[in-house]
Amino acid sequence: MYDAFGIINPSSRQIWVEGLEDYRSIGAFSFLGRYRIIDFPISNMSNSGIDRIQVYIRRKPRSLTDHLGTGRHYNINSKRGRLQVLFSDHHQEHDIYNTDISSYADNLESIELMHHPYVVIAPSYMVCRIDYAQLIQTHIDSGADITLAYHTVDNAKEAFLSCNTLELNRQKGVLGIEPNHGNAKVRNIFMDTYVMKKEYFIDLVKKAQSLSSMYTLSDIVNLACREADVRGFAHHGFFASITDFKSYYDANLELIDFKSAMNLFDDEWPFYTKTNDSCPTKYYETAAVTSSVISNGCLIEGSIENSVIGRGCVIKKGAVVKNSIILSGTIIGEDVHVENQIVDKMAKLIRVKEIIADPENPGYIRRGDTI
Amino acid sequence: MYDAFGIINPSSRQIWVEGLEDYRSIGAFSFLGRYRIIDFPISNMSNSGIDRIQVYIRRKPRSLTDHLGTGRHYNINSKRGRLQVLFSDHHQEHDIYNTDISSYADNLESIELMHHPYVVIAPSYMVCRIDYAQLIQTHIDSGADITLAYHTVDNAKEAFLSCNTLELNRQKGVLGIEPNHGNAKVRNIFMDTYVMKKEYFIDLVKKAQSLSSMYTLSDIVNLACREADVRGFAHHGFFASITDFKSYYDANLELIDFKSAMNLFDDEWPFYTKTNDSCPTKYYETAAVTSSVISNGCLIEGSIENSVIGRGCVIKKGAVVKNSIILSGTIIGEDVHVENQIVDKMAKLIRVKEIIADPENPGYIRRGDTI
Amino acid sequence: MKQNNMLAMILAGGRGSRLHDLTNKVAKPAVSYGGKYRIIDFPLSNCANSGIDVVGVLTQYESVLLNSYVAAGRRWGLDAKDSGVFVLPPREKADANLNVYRGTADAISQNIDFIDEYSPEYVLVLSGDHIYKMNYANMLKEHKACNADASIAVIEVPLKEASRFGIMNADENGRIYEFEEKPEHPKSRLASMGIYIFNWKMLRKMLVADIKNPESHHDFGKDIIPAMLNDQKNLHAYNFKGYWKDVGTIDSLWEANMDLLDANNELDLNDSTWKIYTEDVTTLPQYIGADASIRNSFITQGCLIEGEVQKSVLFTGTTVNVGAKVIDSVLMPGVVVEEGAVVQRALVADGVRIGKNAVVGSADSENIELVAKRVKGED
Amino acid sequence: MKQNNMLAMILAGGRGSRLHDLTNKVAKPAVSYGGKYRIIDFPLSNCANSGIDVVGVLTQYESVLLNSYVAAGRRWGLDAKDSGVFVLPPREKADANLNVYRGTADAISQNIDFIDEYSPEYVLVLSGDHIYKMNYANMLKEHKACNADASIAVIEVPLKEASRFGIMNADENGRIYEFEEKPEHPKSRLASMGIYIFNWKMLRKMLVADIKNPESHHDFGKDIIPAMLNDQKNLHAYNFKGYWKDVGTIDSLWEANMDLLDANNELDLNDSTWKIYTEDVTTLPQYIGADASIRNSFITQGCLIEGEVQKSVLFTGTTVNVGAKVIDSVLMPGVVVEEGAVVQRALVADGVRIGKNAVVGSADSENIELVAKRVKGED
């Protein structure tokens, strides 16, 4: 399957996850304890036989470049294949020119060098299992100019509010891309995933640039819907869009349920990640853990319920962790009660004994904070 | 030898190589056809048993991150060792806060996490063979606070003009670091190479920051010379500092001579680089090559004299290349005469038939230019 | 090689027949241990962490799994430019027939050409089936400082157990003057750990002589070390302190796993400065169900725990269903304990399924029960 | 495996005895070729470029260099997460003695357990000593499209040479109805390249039956393929066009190297979309001296040329000193031609030194001279 190369797109300026995103891009967020969010699109590509992948980085590159390495852990052949990290020349945080289109334009030479006829563009901030080979085949068979993946949801009033939606006709033709205004339950959420010919993509990038320096890829594809044959491709199964704080929290908690998780995971479709060579987790005599996802390298003496615990956390005697997402290397001290929280990496929750937020508005503890 | 970790430092704002540096940092410059300049300090570290290396990047990261990968090609164990690329938060080209000190300050956590007592700091823009294990041992045995490597030259009036020099007393104590003013032939050129305790280094970074946001590491070490025990360590053998256009040109041409090259190369001290899997070079019936260094993957029908030819270049029939450095993927067309030039990557010299510069002021052809 | 000029050879040919059905399909060094490891991960990780680049693994018996396991040197980072893990089974030569390795020394002798390719100054000889963490770089440092011809790592054992080991009698400087294999009346408590550093040139000569000696067993302990002592070579005893275990039987393998539950266990697998590397198996995270109860246990990723687990070590991808109990047991990778089943004081082999409501092992058995075949449960 | 469900097995056990001294120390697939390659780089790079992740290499004779060479799967990028090159020599089993491979099919039979570990749908069987570039993914695509049980790659050979090959007689759809090993009167020009794709389940059954057959030579060409035809299996001939060479003799190895100097050579090693990967040897750049003269030659990094080179292929790290002449020759890695020496129509083996003013080979010799030992020169 050497017909397409892949592009992993960073989140745009319009998307922001409070707290966590101060320290890294969304793709580098920890997910379900042992993954990073970007593991999902890259594994999907690798499993689909795509072994030339460009990852665009807009800001805070360290965490992501560290994690990606050369891509060997994604089962990408290190000679024939390539996981290439590309940077924008506009890397200032609040530069209005810092769009996905400008990243592509800055790296047009690298895109032109690819000798694959098709390109698959997928976001670094969505979690799902999708066979891009099938998406490409559908695209080729249909003869469309562009194919966009979407996921139909029935909770678009309260969720996916930072996402775009696709308006489709009966033949799955895309009439337009527009923001989810939260005014209807059922919506086709746009998965920010595109397939098209490489040359078509390059033309779109150039056209977008000539029209407006602030145009994004979805803006120009929306415009293209007027003349071009743009089609939708329906995705089924688990789908989460990590585009704000609540969606990150909810997606993690939803997957704590083993049955829900089976909508995402599949033995024949491995999700790869980078190993940290941690040892197994040790449960002490006083441990009490239920309904949770636990990573390796933890030392657990306390109680954990309905939570995700990252790698190498220490949960001391008498501590209670409930409905929370604890990122790696965190210490929850003796008798500390943590509920409805996202606790960022290497925090130490040791002095204050009750850290409880409202379940609808989960709290956030900063990276490395001692509380 | 797990006593020290390494830091590879980017060139400071004061240093600029006309032309070439527009496209990449000096560390990523092609050197002698098959190397990049950064291969030398990293190989020196790897051969000295240093397997935790931080490479700081100030600008234009793509070329360097592509080349470095995970460092396996430098014979660095991919589990125990680590070649880590670190970025500054001040990555704007002309940001006055973009100093080496600010890079270290932005990544202080990564430095503090190193569990090695010593740090070796080496520049990404100098070429030499040096055993850091010996440098560290000398440092430890002497009991000095800081040890600085230097190279004594007798042409400091006309060369090394962008470098600093060390003023030494008879006990090799460093009295100060000052710019080479070009007013004396014999000078101890500072190799921008430091050894000290990790804690001492962290203190210096903090102190520099408190004194001035524009201080560099050499500024603060210069200050430290007043109170601390700072010593010099003499280096012998080939030494080149790539800190301006002419020094890049001269260093390449100097190493074309096999005997000079033997002052740099040593069977027991491999200089590693990243292979490109190019096939051998093909010489045609009309080829005439003398006194040159030729990379793999070239097709040679023309004449080459006293030049360095990069990977995958095509030298057509009747072409003449003389006293020039041709970077990879360049085409020299039929009957084109190139003399005293640096030709950047993927240029096509096909229409103009004479491209000849003055030997004292070699010319420069931009990356990808068609002439 | 550049850093320390030492190449490592791991003897991994042991059949491990006292591990019964566990070694039917895999050689002993490939037996699983500690939730996610295999025994040979320990010497290999020690090599990686000690800065050794090139490791030869001498395999013999039924080694397809062991061979393909160690061949992936990336697991221990031993896949850099001039680095590698090389599987060295006995092989056919131009001038000889295909042969098995006749003894520990013969295994090295048959691979002299391999070692010569790297022309190392020192050769480190290790056993592939011991569990311990050791910095061989420190041993080499002492070897050089003593100007030794060979160094042998030794560990203090209780005097009453000493007669089970090869005992080194050394002077106050650590120079060995006598070696006794399983002495009835041991004179010291310094047992050989089967870890040797040799000066290669010297060892090479001795091996070449040993090949021709028809009386020799071609064994380091029985032949080479005594011959060196005879030749007045400088043999140095390198004192090792710390956890060290040879897991030769089902009981000792079970025990070594249980050691990990001991808070005072010296083998700290959580130490980030000396990690033990192993295969990076693609699994789910560790899922704990709503009715689970886990105490005093060591559990790794890919496990799904819905029942009760006590004082047990659970390996990658094991499942304990609702109502099942696992007590004082070791579940090897992929074991499934179905609803209501009880597993106690047992070691359950890879992939074995314990059926619904089945009972395996018992709290008061003298020996640990090895469960190597599917146990049928109720329908 | 995920992408195509096909595993490759490379038969690399050939002694290559017609290559004389070149194969004294290395197996034929490890013989050097084309300036910087070894022959086995071709099938391995083809696998990597065709998206195959897992490759077994079946070695046999004197294979320490071959084993350690192919074990470093990084050379072909075959070292990603679920990827690897696995060396599979004959081995001792619990229920059988250590055995050599008795034939090409037996080599696969003895490794059924290895293949089963990956449970592939298809197995690609290759030879380790042919030079060619082929996209096996295309062959698999055709195999699937034809619903074949097995596919065999064939190449058109001149009719007069056809009787040296195994000839496939196929109908217009490519379905093979007859196979003739070295027929006296060949009915077609389609010669088998020894490249097979099998449906693994089907092949596995045939191999298990073949093991028990005392009459069998345990060979694909002699036994398995005829048996499949007999069973009315759907055997498909996959037509290959392009460069393909079996370098069995010194003359043909020399010739294959000389092919690289031909401007119309189909084996384009410069094609960046289908690179041949090989060992990344640490060398100096290629140094050309002040008095050098090089025409019509293929020269790689690490060479130092101070003399005259014409119509020759020079391998990694060769030296041609001032006044020396190398004409119509192949210099294997590390060869040194000292001052004033002349080498003509010769193939000089690895590391051989041609002394000062010595003369080797001659312009009008019928055969190419193999120089395998140091040639003394004047003092």
What's the pLDDT tens digit per position in C307-354?
A: 999 999 999 999 999 999 999 999 999 999 999 999 999 999 999 999
Map residue B26 onto helix, strand or coil: helix
Ramachandran angles phi, psi of D131, nearest 5°:
-110, 115
Contact between residue C129 and residue C246 where contact means Cβ atoms under 8 Å apart: yes
Best mutation target, B48, B80, B114, to test chain C (most C CBs within 10 A): B80
Whether B153 has a pLDDT exceeding 70, the answer reads yes
Q: How far apart are CA D379 and CA D373, in angstroms?
A: 18
Which one-letter amino acid corresponds to residue B278? Answer: S
CB–CB contact B86 A62 (8 Å): yes
Map residue C208 onto helix, strand or coil: helix
Q: Which two tokens stand for residue A307?
A: 């939570």
Map residue B310 onto helix, strand or coil: coil
H/E stretch holding A134 reads helix A132-142
Tell me what pLDDT residue D13 has.
80
Mean pLDDT score, A54-74:
89
Contact between residue C11 and residue C127 where contact means Cβ atoms under 8 Å apart: yes
C269 to chain A: nearest residue by CA? A279
Q: How far apart are CA B1 and CA A212, in angstroms?
A: 56
Map residue C201 onto helix, strand or coil: helix
Partner B, chain A 50-89, Cβ-Cβ below 8 Å: 61-62, 65-66, 69-70, 79, 84-87
B212 vs B324, more confident: B324
Cβ count near B144 (within 10 Å): 21
Query: Among residues D134, D119, D84, which one has the least CA distance to residue D199?
Result: D119
Which one-letter amino acid corresponds to residue D341? Answer: A
H/E stretch holding A254 reads helix A245-254
Q: Closest Cα of chain B to D298: distance in Å? A: 5
Whether C366 has a pLDDT exceeding 50, the answer reads yes
Partners of A36 on chain C (C-beta within 8 Å) are none
Whether B324 has a pLDDT exceeding 90, the answer reads yes
Domain layout of chain A by residue ranges: 4-262, 282-365
Q: What is the pLDDT of residues A122-148, one digit of tens each?
A: 999 999 999 999 999 999 999 999 999
Partners of C277 on chain A (C-beta within 8 Å) are 277
CB–CB contact B85 A92 (8 Å): no
Q: Which residues of C touch D (CB under 8 A)?
A: 24, 60-65, 67-68, 71-74, 79, 81-82, 84-94, 98, 100, 111, 113-114, 117, 280, 282
Mean pLDDT score, A24-47:
95
Query: Among residues B254, B249, B203, B193, which one has the least CA distance to residue B365?
Result: B249
Mean pLDDT score, B313-334:
97
Pairing of the two strands C286-288 and C304-305: parallel
The residues with which B87 forms a beta bridge, in sequence order, are B57
CATH fold of the domain at B4-262: Spore Coat Polysaccharide Biosynthesis Protein SpsA; Chain A (3.90.550)
pLDDT tens over chain D, length 379 residues = 566 799 999 999 876 677 777 777 778 899 999 999 999 999 999 999 999 999 999 987 656 788 888 888 899 999 998 899 998 887 655 444 455 788 899 999 989 989 998 999 999 999 999 999 999 999 999 999 999 999 999 999 998 889 989 999 999 999 999 999 889 999 999 999 999 999 999 999 999 999 989 899 999 999 999 999 999 999 999 999 999 998 889 999 999 999 999 988 899 999 999 999 999 999 999 999 999 999 999 999 999 999 999 999 999 999 999 999 999 999 999 999 999 999 999 999 999 999 999 999 999 999 999 999 999 988 7
C161–B contact, CB cutoff 8 A: no
Partner A, chain D 73-112, Cβ-Cβ below 8 Å: 74-83
Map residue D21 onto helix, strand or coil: helix
Map residue B218 onto helix, strand or coil: helix
CB–CB contact D285 B294 (8 Å): yes
Partners of A62 on chain B (C-beta within 8 Å) are 85-87, 107
Question: Closest partner residue to C288 among A265, A291, A299, by Cβ?
Answer: A291
CB–CB contact B87 A277 (8 Å): no
Tell me what pLDDT residue D338 has.
97
- Sign of the four-CA dihedral A54, A55, A58, A60: negative
Mean pLDDT score, B142-158:
96
Mean pLDDT score, B81-97:
77
Q: How far apart are CA D141 and CA D133, in angstroms?
A: 17
CB–CB contact C282 A287 (8 Å): no
Query: Among residues A40, A232, A263, A239, which one has the least CA distance to residue A155?
Result: A239
Q: Which residue has the tokens 């005594």?
A: C226
B274 to chain A: nearest residue by CA? A79
- Rounded to the nearest 10 degrees, what angle do helices A217-224 and A198-211 cross at? 100
The DSSP annotation for D104-151 comes to HHHHHHTTHHHHHHH--SEEEEEETTEEE---HHHHHHHHHHTT-SEE
Whether B90 has a pLDDT exceeding 80, the answer reads no
Supply the ipTM of this predicted assembly.
0.91
Q: What is the pLDDT of residues A161-175, one digit of tens each?
A: 999 999 999 989 999
Contact between residue A239 and residue A191 where contact means Cβ atoms under 8 Å apart: yes
Q: How far apart are CA C325 and CA C341, in angstroms?
A: 6
Tell me what pLDDT residue D263 has.
83
Write the CATH number of the domain with boundaries B282-365. Answer: 2.160.10.10
To the nearest whole number, what is the mean pLDDT of chain B?
A: 93
Our CA dihedral for B266, D315, D19, D25, rounded to 10 degrees, sits at 10
Q: How far apart are CA D265 and CA D276, in angstroms?
A: 16
List the subunits that have 3+ CB pairs under 8 angstroms with A.
B, C, D
Q: Closest Cα of chain A to D96: distance in Å? A: 35
A298 to chain C: nearest residue by CA? C270
Ramachandran angles phi, psi of B336, nearest 5°:
-85, 135
Q: How far apart are CA D240 and CA D132, in angstroms?
A: 10
**Neighbour-count burial for D322-339, b at 16+ CB within 10 Å, e otherwise:** ebbbbbbbbbbbbbbbbb
Partners of D2 on chain A (C-beta within 8 Å) are 46-47, 49, 75, 268-270
Map residue C303 onto helix, strand or coil: coil
Map residue C268 onto helix, strand or coil: coil
Q: What is the pLDDT of residues C154-191, one digit of tens each?
A: 999 998 889 889 999 999 999 999 999 889 999 999 99
CB–CB contact C84 D72 (8 Å): yes
Tell me what pLDDT residue A2 has.
56
D310–B contact, CB cutoff 8 A: no
Partners of A109 on chain B (C-beta within 8 Å) are 368
Tell me what pLDDT residue A248 has.
96
CB–CB contact B2 C137 (8 Å): yes
Tell me what pLDDT residue A12 has.
79
Best mutation target, D3, D118, D141, to test chain A (most A CBs within 10 A): D3
D35 to chain B: nearest residue by CA? B280
The DSSP annotation for C327-353 comes to ES-EE-TT-EE-TT-EEESEEEPTT-E
- Rounded to the nearest 10 degrees, what angle do helices B198-211 and B217-224 cross at? 100
Q: Rounded to 5 degrees, what angle do the CA atoms C1, C2, C3 make?
A: 95
Q: How far apart are CA C71 and CA C55, in angstroms?
A: 10
Tell me what pLDDT residue C61 has.
62
Q: Which residues of B touch D (CB under 8 A)?
A: 32-34, 72-73, 258, 261, 265, 270-272, 275, 277-297, 299, 304, 312
Mean pLDDT score, B253-278:
94
A261 to chain C: nearest residue by CA? C284
Whether B82 has a pLDDT exceeding 60, the answer reads yes
Residue B2: CA count within 13 A, CB half-sphere:
19
Q: Rounded to 5 degrees, what angle do the CA atoms B32, B337, B22 make?
A: 50
Q: Which two tokens stand for residue A74?
A: 């994604």
- Sign of the four-CA dihedral B227, B233, B234, B239: negative
D90 to chain C: nearest residue by CA? C91
Tell me what pLDDT residue B203 has.
97
Q: Closest Cα of chain B to A335: distance in Å? A: 29
D293–B contact, CB cutoff 8 A: yes
Rg (CA), chain B: 21
Tell me what pLDDT residue D264 has.
86
Question: Closest partner residue to C292 among A73, A289, A295, by Cβ?
Answer: A289
Map residue A203 onto helix, strand or coil: helix
DSSP state at residue D222: I
Whether B78 has a pLDDT exceeding 90, the answer reads no
Partners of C80 on chain B (C-beta within 8 Å) are 71-78, 81
Q: Which residues have C-beta within 8 Å of that of residue B107, sequence separation ≥ 6? A: A62, B54, B56, B86, B88
**Percent of chain C topping pLDDT 90:** 75
Tell me what pLDDT residue D179 has.
93
DSSP state at residue B307: -
The residues with which B315 forms a beta bridge, in sequence order, are B300, B332
Query: Among residues A224, A192, A251, which one has the least CA distance to residue A15?
Result: A192
